[in-house]
C-alpha cells in the first residue's frame, strides 16, 4: 500500500533517548534566581511537572510549562527560562540519521510530520529543528502544548494528519519509542506503527507494532517493504 505520510514522535525518537535528572536540573536552574529558597522552588516545580505528566497519563489531557510554573506558584524571570533551555539543550539534538531518512522519504513523495507530547511551546521545538538543519524538511507538526489532548488520544493523531494534509490513516505511519503513547495510539486510529524501543520506557503488550527498528536509518527499508 502507498504511504502518504510518516509522522514521528520527538523525544526518544527524533532525539535519541536520554535519562534526565530533572530534580538536579531544576535545582541548578533555580539556585541563581531564588538563592534563599531555591530547593523549595525546585521541588514545587518538580511536583507540578509530575502532576502535568500524570494528567497526560490518566486523562490524556495536555499541559504547558507555563501551567507548571503557575501551579508551582512561581513567576520565572526570563533569565531563568533561558538557563533552563541551556541546561536542557544537551538532550535535544536531532538524531544524525534523521535528515537522511527525511530526504529518502520525501523523494518518494511522502510527507514528514511530528507529533510530540510536550510541555514546551512550538517555537522551542522549531528552534531545535532549525539548529539541526531539518526544520525545512518537516511538512507539519503538532505539539500537545498547543492542543487539548495528548497521545494516545485519537484527536492528537488526527491533528497530526491534518497538519501534513493526510486524510487516510491507513496510508500513514507513526514512528515512536513508547508502546502506549505512540504505538497503541497510532494503531487505534488505523495507522501503521513502528517502534524504536529502549529499555527505560514502560512496556505495553496489548498492541503489537507493525515493525520494530533499532534506529531511524532502518525505517526507509521497512516502508519500502510494505
pTM of the model as a whole: 0.96
Report how many domains make up the chain. 2
State the Cα–Cα distance between residues 40 and 85, nearest whole angstrom.
21
Report d(CA 226, CA 207) in Å as an integer. 19
Q: How many residues does the chain have?
A: 226
Rounded average pLDDT per 10-residue block, the chain, 226 residues:
94 93 96 97 98 96 98 97 97 97 98 98 98 98 98 98 98 97 97 90 85 97 95
Q: Are residues 11 and 50 in the same domain?
A: no
What is the residue range of 131's domain? Answer: 5-16+93-225
Among 37, 61, 90, give the residue marking a domain's end.
Answer: 90
Q: Do 153 and 59 fall into the same domain?
A: no
Residue where a domain stops, chosen among 66, 90, 114: 90
d(CA 1, CA 13): 24
Decide if 23 contacts 42 (C-beta within 8 A): yes
Give the end of a domain, one of 90, 114, 139. 90
Is the same domain home to 75 and 133? no
Calpha distance 145→24 (Å, rounded) = 24
Kindly report, residue by residue over 90-126, the tens digit of the pLDDT: 999 999 999 999 999 999 999 999 999 999 999 999 9
Amino acid at each position: 500500500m502507498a504511504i502518504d505520510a510518516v509522522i514521528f514522535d520527538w523525544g526518544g525518537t527524533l532525539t535519541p533517548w536520554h535519562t534526565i535528572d530533572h530534580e538536579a536540573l531544576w535545582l541548578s536552574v533555580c539556585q541563581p534566581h531564588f538563592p534563599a529558597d531555591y530547593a523549595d522552588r525546585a521541588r514545587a516545580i518538580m511536583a507540578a511537572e509530575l502532576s502535568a505528566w500524570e494528567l497526560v497519563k490518566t486523562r490524556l489531557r495536555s499541559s504547558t510549562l507555563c501551567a507548571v510554573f503557575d501551579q508551582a506558584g512561581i513567576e520565572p524571570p526570563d533569565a531563568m527560562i533561558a538557563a533552563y533551555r541551556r541546561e536542557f539543550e544537551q538532550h535535544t539534538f536531532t538524531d544524525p540519521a534523521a535528515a537522511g531518512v527525511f530526504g529518502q522519504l520525501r523523494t518518494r513523495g511522502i510527507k514528514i510530520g511530528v507529533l510530540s507530547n510536550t510541555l514546551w511551546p512550538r517555537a522551542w521545538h522549531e528552534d531545535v529543528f532549525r539548529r539541526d538543519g531539518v526544520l525545512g524538511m518537516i511538512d507539519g507538526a503538532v505539539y500537545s502544548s498547543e492542543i487539548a489532548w495528548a497521545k494516545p488520544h485519537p484527536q492528537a493523531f488526527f491533528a497530526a494528519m491534518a497538519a501534513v494534509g493526510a486524510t487516510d490513516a491507513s496510508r500513514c505511519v507513526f514512528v515512536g519509542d513508547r508502546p502506549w503513547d505512540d504505538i497503541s495510539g497510532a494503531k487505534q486510529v488505523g495507522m501503521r506503527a513502528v517502534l524504536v524501543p529502549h529499555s527505560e520506557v514502560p512496556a505495553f503488550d496489548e498492541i503489537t507494532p507493525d515493525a520494530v527498528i533499532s534506529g531511524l536509518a532502518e525505517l526507509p527499508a521497512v516502508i519500502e517493504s510494505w
